[in-house]
């Protein structure tokens, strides 16, 4: 599945010259945590996060006089002075797997999506979670995930799908997981409120249901 289907398109961007109070107001108004920073041609030059802004503003443990001095500096500080310039990005052809790899490797909060050098979207950890929930049917009405022991038979997937279709049992996902320690498993997401009857049918036809 491609990122372009799950990203937030046309994100709000800021210029490197914008002052920090303006950027902070944007984050607060729209409840964002990341702002791509682009030049006059729309080219990505950095990213500004809420963490960057929190670090720039005065700490609560300093004195009032010190806090006033920091606030004065912040009022005149531009985004370019605190933004991150080493940005991990995705492209228009990137997939959810690409995003998952980058989130795991680099731990960013969000990834700008580029068409060439131009920002066309942003993809966050929250977007990734939502995309995988959609991919695996989590939260669908009446959806239940069943684990079936994979006996290694070359026809087990065919037999399983054929049985479900023959009995007109609605299912939306079939996933085969290979696990040397826990045993290979086939997961099927069934869309029915009569799950007990489905489990009994599977057992009657030689399938072993896995628990846990």
pLDDT tens-digit map of 168-181: 999 999 999 998 88
Q: Taking Cα atoms as reference points, which of 163, 173, 162, 152 lies closest to residue 201?
A: 163
pLDDT above 70 coverage of the chain, percent: 95
Name the pTM for this structure. 0.78
The superfamily CATH assigns to domain 138-210 is ACT domain (3.30.70.260)
Stretch 189-201: mean pLDDT = 91
pLDDT band, very low/low/confident/very high, at 75 (cuts 50, 70, 90): confident
* pLDDT above 70 for 72: yes
Stretch 174-199: mean pLDDT = 90
What pLDDT was estimated at residue 61? 65
What pLDDT was estimated at residue 68? 76
For 89-141, how does the pLDDT look when each residue is reduced to its tens digit (9 = 90+)? 999 999 999 999 999 999 999 999 999 989 999 999 999 999 988 888 887 77
Stretch 36-62: mean pLDDT = 87
- Residue 3's alpha-carbon distances to 87, 111, 123, in angstroms, are 17, 10, 8
Q: Taking Cα atoms as reference points, which of 34, 56, 32 lies closest to residue 44?
A: 34
Q: What is the mean pLDDT of the chain?
A: 90
What pLDDT was estimated at residue 212? 58
* pLDDT above 90 for 32: no
CA distance 1 to 20: 37
Q: Can you spell out the DSSP letters for the chain?
A: -BGGGTSEES---B-TTSBHHHHHHHHHHHT-SEEEEE-TTSBEEEEEEHHHHHHHSPPTTS-HHHHHHHHHHHHT-BGGGTSB-S---EETT-BHHHHHHHHHHH--SEEEEEETTEEEEEEEHHHHHHHHHHHHTTT-TTEEEEEEE----TTHHHHHHHHHHHTT--EEEEEEE--TTT--EEEEEEE-S-HHHHHHHHHHTTPPEE--
Of 38-42, 83-87, 140-144, 190-194, the one with minimum mean pLDDT is 140-144
Domain ranges of the chain: 3-133, 138-210
CATH for 3-133 is 3.10.580.10
């Amino acid at each position: 599945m491609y990122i372009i289907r799950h990203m937030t398109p046309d994100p709000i961007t800021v210029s490197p010259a914008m002052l920090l109070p303006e950027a902070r107001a944007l984050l607060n108004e729209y409840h964002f945590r990341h702002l791509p920073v682009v030049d006059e041609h729309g080219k990505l030059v950095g990213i500004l996060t809420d963490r960057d802004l929190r670090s720039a503003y005065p700490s609560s443990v300093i004195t009032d006089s010190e806090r006033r001095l920091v606030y004065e500096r912040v009022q005149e500080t531009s985004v370019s002075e605190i933004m991150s310039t080493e940005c991990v990005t995705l492209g228009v052809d990137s997939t959810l797997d690409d995003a998952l790899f980058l989130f795991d490797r680099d731990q960013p909060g969000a990834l700008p999506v580029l068409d060439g050098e131009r920002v066309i979207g942003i993809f966050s950890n929250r977007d990734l979670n939502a995309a995988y929930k959609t991919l695996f049917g989590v939260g669908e009405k009446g959806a239940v995930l069943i684990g079936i022991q994979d006996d290694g038979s070359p026809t087990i997937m065919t037999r399983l799908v054929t049985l479900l279709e023959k009995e007109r049992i609605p299912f939306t996902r079939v996933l085969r997981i290979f696990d040397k320690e826990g045993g290979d498993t086939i997961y099927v997401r069934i869309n029915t409120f009569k799950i007990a009857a489905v489990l009994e049918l599977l057992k009657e036809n030689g399938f072993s249901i896995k628990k846990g």
